[in-house]
Structure 1
Amino acid sequence: MVKKYEELTAASKLSIKTIGDLKKSGYQSRSIKEELRENLIQSIKKNENPFVGILGYEDTVIPDVERAILSRHNINLLGLRGQAKTRLARMMVNLLDEYVPVVVGSELNDDPLNPLSKFAFDLIAEQGDATPIAWLHRDERFTEKLATPDVSIADLIGDVDPIKAAALKLPYSDERVIHYGLVPRSHRSIFVINELPDLQPRIQVALFNILQEGDIQIRGFKLRLPLDIQFVFTANPEDYTNRGSIVTPLKDRLGSQIITHYPKSIHTGLKITEQEAKNANLTHVHVNEVAKLLIEQIAVEARSSEYVDVNSGVSARLTISSYENLVSSIERRLLKNKEEEGAVRMTDFVGVIPSITGKIELVYEGEQEGPGIVAHNLIGKATRTLFTDYFEDPDEVRKSKEKADPYKKISEWFGSEHVIDLLNDYPEKEYRRELDKVPGLADLVKRQIKGLKDDNLKYFLMEYVLFALVEYSYLSKLTLENGMRIDDLIGGMFSGFEENEEDF
């Protein structure tokens, strides 16, 4: 017995244009929850992934979603911003049949074999097996609505349309004067409401019967519409206190509440960033692995920072935007210097600050510091944290009485009244000449990073060492109008004092 459009032969697909043709083909209708369930079962058996591009959820969220689909549940995805909740809901479309039949002209995607609306009933009663049908693609069976305080019952459920009543010369008691809202129009579809707590409680109440019994009421019309909808809601825990809440009876009617999360490791975060960043594949711009991980570490530091509101979350969009700005910083420098290609520098990270300041919510202490200073601090903390993955821990070196300090020669050179300026738009030759001034810096990098052959990476790591030594209080860093000055601690203090005097 034929069950799905995909199982029909190519010739029969073209020939099925009426309800009579559909019946002869052996096509059988099924609810959307059965459709999702059976297609997921086939997907699991074939070891296929319907959620391609959703990274970091393979062992946590996706199994929960699959269990919910197998259980025929409506779903609530609960998590902080930037955790791919909406994308996950959209990917469920991949589990729908490619096409399903609908009655031609129907507002409610009526199933020809199980009609729902008065229009479809009347048409089938009039034309019988000659009733024309069309095939609806899976992409058209997805509806998404952002919950906002101004969403009304009419938007979601429907209302009486006076213009329709006047045009058709019908009394208000006639069912044909109803203008159906988004929910009835999503019959046989996936319906997503984003940020559910923002929906007013009285609007949430209107969803009770739809979720449980399929009843809807519009302006006194007592309709029994057995709507066939897969509901997916998304919510942010912060919204439960700041802007609203999900009313308890509605939560009770949701089969599964699934908790989402941020990437468990910076390597997973890096895969997401590289996948989503629009300019990640520019061939003339080279960003090494250390710089990429540093971008991810900034987000990790932000999620645990005392200046950042952890309840608000730090979206994955922070790292994506930061990576895009980092690449654009390099590209801009190359254009200004008329250079064909180039590699990332630590000074390029000044370009990611606008991506950080717009993506974090600060607590009171953070507001006092200012978003720019908080962004600089996050970059500094990320630099410090990641440094020990590649070089000896300066804190451990200081504690040890037996080990020679590999950073002493560098700090002593700066202590002898030497400084270097690392300007944002230095041409490559000048940039390397500045770093080569520091004795022992290149040797340190070669000694710590075995088999290093890439010159671009070598100079990046030389610069990275200096920035890290600032964080470990070996050196100081002074922000110039167009770059950075690296100095020893005492010199940096006096430089800062002189600048303040000039400002005064």
Structure 2
Amino acid sequence: MKIENINTLGELKASGYQSKSIKEELRTNLREKIKSGKPTFDGVHGFENTVIPELERAILSRHNINLLGLRGQAKTRLARKMVELLDEYIPFVTGSEINDDPLKPISRYAKDLIAINGDATAISWLHRSDRFFEKLATPDVTVADLIGDIDPIKAANLKLSYADDRVIHFGMIPRANRCIFVINELPDLQARIQVALFNILQEGDIQIRGFKLRMPLDMQFVFTANPEDYTNRGNIVTPLKDRIGSQILTHYPETVQIARTITEQEANLDVIQSDMVHVPSLAKDLLEQISFEARESEYIDNKSGVSARMSITAYENLLSTAERRALKAGVDKTTLRLSDFMGIIPSITGKVELVYEGEQEGAAYVAQNLIASAIHTFFPGYFPKIEKLEKPDEKTAYTDLIEWFFAESGFELLDDATDEQYQRILGSIVPLEILVKKYQPQLEKEDRFFMKEFILWAMVEYKKLSKDRITDGYQFKDMYGSYISKL
């Protein structure tokens, strides 16, 4: 069917077009996608065996949907992806405020126009990208905003009585007829406003200022909400919950690999930045592990969640830290360093909600603690485990490294050291090179220095070395050597 050749109601009828409700559209197109084996919600990762099957069942059941989950769990992304399951174009009566179906008009405007013009009534075509409406529920939202109200200016201009339904100004919901309508943060909507949605969800009609309007709106509602025990700003009233067909619980990525995929997809990086900074695979894993550590941290309110946005903005800041260092050094390429992770602290502090103990310690301390915890978690996967208790005089894989620091006065890693200086300093520690060659022999050459620094930071976390922040970098020393030398 070539829509450019169909511009009137008569031509539409002659084409054999059949009207479908939006829920039927979604269902039909979803059936075809599932049959063909195509991904139904492409670009949404980690939900393949949990959320997406539940969402598919809800669409096949023609349900209105409530996506319930903590912040940063792709709830709105899922709702927006549903647009791809709509037909590419649908016809509507030209000039209609509520996208009237030419074959099943519901507004007075469309009915009167068709009664006058018949098959000559002009029609237009609405693309699926224009069939998505979104409203953030805020305490100041009114029934008039959502449903509609009498427009006194329209009444005066048209010289109509308030008893005439043509004086009605439609709200967002009627204007979203035959569309997907998303209300974000539903508990924030006042209870009396939620009550106004009852009829629309159950019977599909609306009431405005006492007008006896029977307007069977054709809509797909999607609501998003945080768990009620967290928001404390309001609740979803029980009768409204009862009218929502399916409530689907979302969740955070279950593995570091899935989290990495999401971060790399969503990070706002340009080609110059990506080409300038080489990021070792371990660095990407560490970055994601920070979010996993935050969700388990005793300093952070786990009811509020830790958004996937934290990893995304942290990754952007991480690359910007290395980029800034490269620009100051006047070089075109650099490799990420573990010390660059201090550049992500601003991305963490604003995105975690601290409990009392966390507030006492301070946001910056908590952020550094999360980075340290991620290093502590990952280290045994790359090198032999460091035991807390060791037998006296027993030689371990790290004895030579500890003795090197005992014999030396320590060394400094400066934030803005050039790559040449950085590699020379780390290269001077022979036991580090031996450890990397022995336990990570397959490691790419450009990742070796990141791995060396990783060992040093891990030794600090396992209380084998000390690390102090100096004005423009970090100083690593033996835990006891500097003290003994003063005796």
Amino acid at match of 1:395: E
Report the Cα distance in structure 1 between the residues aligned to 2:154 and 2:40, rounded to whole angstroms.
Answer: 42
Tell me, yes or no, if structure 1 residue 36 matches structure 2 residue 4: no
Find the aligned partners of 2:317 and 2:30 in 1 and give their Cα distance: 39
Task: Select the residue among 158, 161, 173 that pairs with 2:151.
Answer: 161
How far, CA to CA, are the matches of 2:162 and 2:145 in structure 1?
A: 19
Match of 2:36 among 36, 41, 46: 46
Alpha carbons of structure 1 residues 286 and 373: separation in structure 2 relative to 1, 3 Å:
same
Work out whether residues 280 and 324 of structure 1, in 8 Å CA contact, stay in contact via their aligned partners in 2.
Answer: no
- Could you tell me which residue of structure 2 aligns to residue 131 of structure 1? 121
Match of 1:335 among 317, 327, 339: 327
Q: Which amino acid aligns with 1:321?
A: T
Where does 1:270-289 land on structure 2 (aligned, <5 Å)? 270-279=260-269, 282-289=274-281
1:14 to partner: Cα distance:
2.1
Instruction: Tell me the amino acid that sits aligned with residue 385 of structure 2.
Output: D
Q: Does 1:235 align with 2:187?
A: no
CA distance in 2 between counterparts of 1:233 and 1:492 reads 61
**Are 2:20 and 1:20 aligned?**
no
- Report 1:105-504 matches (<5 A): 105-238=95-228, 241-279=231-269, 282-395=274-387, 398=389, 404-452=395-443, 454-490=444-480
The change in CA–CA distance for 1:494 and 1:33 in structure 2 (over 3 A counts) is: farther
SS at match of 2:220: strand
For residues 134 and 492 of structure 1, the distance between their equivalents in structure 2, rounded to whole angstroms, comes to 81
Decide whether the 8 Å contact of 1:432 with 1:459 is kept in 2: yes
Distance 2:395 2:240 in 1: 65
Decide whether aligned partners of structure 1 residues 403 and 33 sit closer, same or farther in structure 2, where only a CA change above 3 A counts: farther
Structure 2 unaligned segments of length 5 or more: list them: none
Alpha-carbon separation, structure 2, partners of 1:494 and 1:375 = 32
Structure 1 residue 284: deviation in Å?
2.0
Residue type of the alignment partner of 2:62: R
The residue number in structure 2 matching 1:498 is none
Q: Is the 8 A contact 1:436 1:442 kept in 2?
A: yes
Per the TM alignment, residue 418 of structure 1 is displaced from its structure 2 partner at its CA by: 2.0
Of the structure 1 ranges 435-444 and 418-427, higher mean CA displacement relative to structure 2 is found in: 435-444
Unmatched 5+ residue regions in structure 1?
A: 1-7, 496-504
Distance, in Å, in 1 between the alignment partners of 2:300 and 2:219 is 39
**TM-score of the aligned structures, taking structure 2 as reference length:** 0.97
Q: Deviation digits for residues 314-367 of structure 1, max 9, x if unmatched?
A: 000010011111111110000000011010101101111111111101001000
1:103 aligns with 2:116: no
Give the stretch that moved more between structures: 187-196 or 482-491. Answer: 482-491
Cα distance change of structure 1 residues 494 and 112 upon mapping to structure 2, 3 Å threshold: farther
> How far apart in 1 are the matches of 2:481 and 2:252?
42
Amino acid of the structure 2 residue aligned with 1:363: V
Structure 2 CA distance for aligned equivalents of residues 272 and 401 of structure 1: 47
Q: Which AA in structure 2 matches 1:352?
A: I
Deviations 1:157-187 (A, max 9, x none): 0000011001111111110100000011111
1:360-409 per-residue CA deviation (whole Å, 9 max, x = no partner) reads: 0100100000000000000000011011111111127x558998411111
The aligned length equals 483
Q: Is the CA contact (8 Å cut-off) linking 1:288 and 1:344 kept in structure 2?
A: yes
